[in-house]
Amino acid sequence: MHTRTLGPAGPARLEVSALGLGCMGMSQSFGAVPPREEMITFLRAAVDRGVTFFDTAEVYGPFHNEELVGEALRPVRDDVVIATKFGFAFDDDGNQTGVSSRPDHIRAAVDGSLRRLGTDSIDLLYQHRVDPDVPIEDVAGTVKDLIDAGKVHHFGLSEAGVQTIRRAHAVQPVTALQSEYSLFWREPEEDILPALDELGIGFVPFSPLGRGFLTGQVTATTEFGEGDIRANLPRFQHEALQANLALVDLITTVAERKEATVGQVALAWLLAQRASIVPIPGTRRLERLDENLGAADLHLTEEDLADLDRASTSVPVQGDRYPEAMQRMIDR
């Protein structure tokens, strides 16, 4: 597996596999949750294949995903990079109640994550969503203290806007921003990516395959079952889905030319955008993992990239990324 680095030059740089693994779906959001032992075996198989970058969060489950990732990776802890996130509040029953990045809440969240992961330190700690009630300088300062204490190694943000990124970075260097980016959603190109280039911050696209949309496996007749978040996402509603599938048809033309899958082309396109980009496609199936990892060796020519750019810009995405309540949590 090829490697890439995230973060500004110097000690804040973080080396990871060119493709990471998003672990959320192993505990929630995409239908029935697979057996725990099956996912432990799967995660260890990913390590065997060269994946060193694993993404989790306290809210996934909630809490169970960190326990799963921690148990699976404990035998190879020194060889992998674990990223997790804070930023949500929970009631006594573990239900999410909103965002919270108060300094005392961050410290408690990190202690909980360390315990569940079974590790002495977190390699990359993201603020999961910006808290409008807490100055980002206070958030960055708290993470800086945690880094000084040895509990955290690198600071990240998720779904943060440019001004938030700049203000945080001035207090504690930001190693990576995690936000959605793909041929299906290119908004970060407008303001986010230029700012990250300027500051030397890495970019970790989540949903790089459009929550399965860019695998070519979703069709106009696909039914999303109970527990599948896509059933409630505007982009996947029937009329929007039918319109958006035109993009997959165009990408398929390039995929056939490259003798690759649609998903591999979509991931290779992301990797070709910048050396500082490390996508984290999520999957629970070994054959899909092997397919995704094959994208790291897929070379796209200038002609291929131009065709993909035209395809993406010619099909306006129909439907918002999230329902309205979740959209309001995105900092722009």
> Residue 134: pLDDT band by 50, 70, 90 thresholds?
very high
> Residue 322: pLDDT band by 50, 70, 90 thresholds?
confident
Amino acid making up residue 88: F
Average pLDDT over residues 65-76: 98
Model pLDDT, residue 282: 95
Q: At residue 332, does pLDDT exceed 70?
A: no
The answer to whether the CB of 331 falls within 8 A of the CB of 178 is: no
What percent of the chain has a predicted confidence (pLDDT) above 70?
A: 99
Q: Rounded CA gap, 60 and 108, in Å?
A: 17
**Lowest-pLDDT choice from 127-141, 209-223, 261-275, 299-313:** 209-223
- Mean pLDDT score of the chain: 94
Which of left, alpha, beta for 298 (phi over 0: left; psi -120 to 50: alpha)?
A: beta
> Residue 139: pLDDT band by 50, 70, 90 thresholds?
very high
Average pLDDT over residues 143-170: 98
**Lowest-pLDDT choice from 41-50, 76-85, 222-231, 319-328:** 319-328
Q: Residues with Cβ < 8 Å from 16, sequence gap 6 or more?
A: 3, 4, 5, 6, 52, 53, 81, 278
CATH class belonging to 3-210+273-296:
alpha beta
The residue from 60, 126, 181, 322 that is catalytic is 60
* Known active-site residue 126: no
Q: Is 175 exposed, middle or buried (0-12, 13-18, 19+ CB in 10 A)?
A: buried
Q: Tell me which residue has tokens 């300027």.
A: 198
* Chain centre to alpha carbon of residue 315: 24
β pairing state of 152-158 and 174-180 = parallel
Q: At residue 9, does pLDDT exceed 80?
A: no
Average pLDDT over residues 250-265: 97
Model pLDDT, residue 39: 97
Q: At residue 173, does pLDDT exceed 90?
A: yes
> Residue 54: pLDDT band by 50, 70, 90 thresholds?
very high
Average pLDDT over residues 287-313: 97
Q: What distances in angstroms separate CA 27 from CA 24, 57, 156, 249, one per listed residue? A: 6, 11, 22, 31
Instruction: Please count the residues of the chain.
Output: 332
Q: Residues with Cβ < 8 Å from 319, sequence gap 6 or more?
A: 233, 234, 235, 236, 237, 240, 244
